Amino acid sequence: MNESEFNRLADTVLASIETAIDDCCEDADYHRSGNVLEIEFDSGSKVIVNRHDINQEIWLAAPSGGFHYAWQEGRWLSSRDGSELFARLAELFAAQGESISFG
């Protein structure tokens, strides 16, 4: 995949996360600065999602750890545990008492 394709896909991910938060989550705020999306919950817990251009990955940082997701087989999959990005985000939101879905 070339750089512009990656950027388009990754920007779509960040926009999808913002839309999903707007649609569902009263106890989560977010702020996007360039390639970094910071999500903060009322508990003070944070999740950070960013586009890592050099590796062509989406990086996710949460209290439970860090994860790197690469575009494979039409999905963003973790190089470490094979999890899917949106499924992992849903788990992280559920741990904060929030139900989120990505469509």
- Tens-digit pLDDT profile for residues 18-49: 999 999 888 899 999 999 999 999 999 999 99
Task: Tell me which residue of 34, 25, 13, 2 sits closest to 85, measured CA to CA.
Answer: 13
pTM of the model: 0.90
Give the β-pairing of 65-72 and 36-41: unpaired
- Tens-digit pLDDT profile for residues 50-96: 999 999 999 999 998 999 999 998 999 998 899 999 999 999 999 99
Check residue 24 and give its pLDDT: 85
Question: Domains of the chain, with CATH numbers?
Answer: 3-94 (3.30.920.10)
